[in-house]
Amino acid sequence: MPVSILIAIFLAFELEEIRGISTSFGFGEAGRIGVVAASIAAVAAVSFAVGRFVAWRVDRGGYGSERLRRAYAIAGRVVAILVLLSYASILYVANWRSIVEVDFGLRGAFFLDEFLILLPYLIAQFTAWWGLYAAERSLRLASTRISDRGGLFVYLSLKARQSLALALPIVLIFLLGEDLGDRFAPNLDRSPWLQLGLIGLIGSTVLITAPAFVRLSLPASPLPDGPLRRRLETLMRRCGFRCSNILIWRTGHSLVNAGVTGIWSRFRYVLLTDALVDRLDEHQVEAVFGHEIGHIARRHFFLFSFFFIGSGAIISLAALGAHGLLTTVPGGRLASAFNGVAAGFNGVEAIETGLVIVAAIVYLIVGFGHVSRRFEREADVYGCRAVSCGSDDCPPHLDVNAGSGAIGVAERICPVGLRTFATALAEVAELNGIDRDARSWRHGGIGKRIAFLESLENRPQVQDRYARGSRRFRVVFATALVAAVAAAVATGALAKALTF
């Protein structure tokens, strides 16, 4: 799931609603256009510099060293953050939203206003991909494991599809809901609870129907009948897992990956890329497939939506806290000291906004990162179990997915199952040119994930302890979020945030 665009949407629409950030900076028209141009130019300068530099180093050395790849991975993350910062400055410093709504006169225009508000983000993001393309291409060609077909245009459209395919329908439904709400029930804003209900309704519609959009927007076709399909169907029966179809996602053999979408089995697809099915053997594909089933079996989609609802409550509490801090005498005096910095600059408002933004970003980075890595690990364990025979004295190992599907999923991981999954994971990383030791905010580094699985090998007590810990985490996680929502409701923080 592309987090970056969700943060952009949050910055553009939600934070704006919550805080009502307005002309805090007294730039004139030319100044504001200058800020927009400079923000995009900064992204272009950094990403092209990184792209060219990496390509030059690879050309010079004839290969991409581990050190270079690692440095590039970090640079890529810096560019991603820069894209968001540049968009934030366009939104808040240049006050882009008022340019669209007031200067272009598009307030309340159906969809067009929202699209134009998001446009600078899309431009910045495409600029960044374009800039980094030189690096991606030379690193990929240097490893020669995956072909490079189609050039820049194919690369950009792949990137766009990968990160926008799921997010755009969500945005569309969300904005449609808001537009319809504004048009047909303008008084809804006065009642926070009705609005919360509406958000819930829109959210569930998105969750249920998004996979259908993914199906329509990705170049994918059903996995043809054959030995692999039959084995995967056996695995699905063993797990009690249902989906609408198993799809092969055609990426021009440039991406080794898999994914699952949909909380409702009728609209649920498992996606396997063309290169994944080509490069991994059938047992490894089953292990990866098992990982995706694990996300569904462990209800990660539900828990994530729950996480975001709880996060809304936590951020609204933070906003209330910031407000409280600044209305104390010393806090207020300190903030208002900044009032005359620029024409129309309101110190209290700016500091309050800044505090909320920083708190929200830190919270999302730490909280969301932790939860996703934990969920990835749970799915990894499930992936191992999907190809484990469950026998105490394996090997000899029983090929569980060759049979009729009568044998359920093993409670514990066997050594052969563990090896199958771990080699699949390592292979996926290598084929995609990902360094094993590179850290990943959302998935955890490959090396660490494998080391964790190895720590479970032949140690049933450790496996049981992990399963118990997992269950305990769910209970604590759910309780904490319910408590946050309750606190936000009780203190009025949520109602306040929603009525802004």
Interface contacts to Zn ion, rule CB under 5 A: 376, 379, 389, 394, 397, 414, 416
Cα(35)–Cα(124) distance, integer angstroms = 13
Comparing CB distances to Zn ion, the nearer of 279 and 373 is 373
- To Zn ion, the closest distance from the beta carbon of 386 in angstroms equals 12
Comparing CB distances to Zn ion, the nearer of 103 and 399 is 399
- To Zn ion, the closest distance from the beta carbon of 1 in angstroms equals 10
- To Zn ion, the closest distance from the beta carbon of 443 in angstroms equals 7
* Strands 269-273 vs 245-249: parallel, antiparallel or unpaired: parallel
- To Zn ion, the closest distance from the beta carbon of 459 in angstroms equals 15
- To Zn ion, the closest distance from the beta carbon of 367 in angstroms equals 18
Which residue type, as a one-letter code, is found at position 267? F
Spatial CB neighbours of 210, under 8 Å, sequence gap ≥ 6? 166, 169, 170, 261, 262
Comparing CB distances to Zn ion, the nearer of 132 and 431 is 431
**Using an 8 Å Cβ cutoff, are 246 and 223 in contact?**
yes
- To Zn ion, the closest distance from the beta carbon of 411 in angstroms equals 13
Cα(311)–Cα(315) distance, integer angstroms = 6
- To Zn ion, the closest distance from the beta carbon of 408 in angstroms equals 15
Q: In Å, how far from its chain's centre is CA 158? A: 16
- To Zn ion, the closest distance from the beta carbon of 295 in angstroms equals 6
- To Zn ion, the closest distance from the beta carbon of 417 in angstroms equals 5
Comparing CB distances to Zn ion, the nearer of 19 and 373 is 373
3 state SS for 399-426: CHHHCCCCCCCCCCCCHHHHHHHHHHHH
Rg (CA), the chain: 25
Q: Rounded to the nearest 10 degrees, how much is the dihedral formed by the CA atoms of 292, 294, 298, 301?
A: 0
Q: Which residue has the tokens 């024409």?
A: 343
* Residue 19 tokens, joined: 């805080």
Comparing CB distances to Zn ion, the nearer of 330 and 396 is 396
* Residue 232 tokens, joined: 């995967």
Cα(312)–Cα(280) distance, integer angstroms = 41
Q: Which residue has the tokens 């005096």?
A: 333
- Select from 333, 316, 299, 230 the least CA-distant residue to 478: 299
Comparing CB distances to Zn ion, the nearer of 198 and 394 is 394
- Select from 122, 64, 478 the least CA-distant residue to 114: 122
Comparing CB distances to Zn ion, the nearer of 19 and 443 is 443
Cα(376)–Cα(393) distance, integer angstroms = 28
Comparing CB distances to Zn ion, the nearer of 124 and 381 is 381
- To Zn ion, the closest distance from the beta carbon of 420 in angstroms equals 9
Torsion-angle region of residue 405: left (phi > 0), alpha (psi -120 to 50) or beta?
left
Comparing CB distances to Zn ion, the nearer of 206 and 288 is 288
Comparing CB distances to Zn ion, the nearer of 225 and 393 is 393
- To Zn ion, the closest distance from the beta carbon of 290 in angstroms equals 11
Cα(168)–Cα(175) distance, integer angstroms = 10
Comparing CB distances to Zn ion, the nearer of 208 and 407 is 407
> Side-chain half-sphere of 361: how many Cα atoms within 13 Å?
14
Cα(118)–Cα(13) distance, integer angstroms = 9
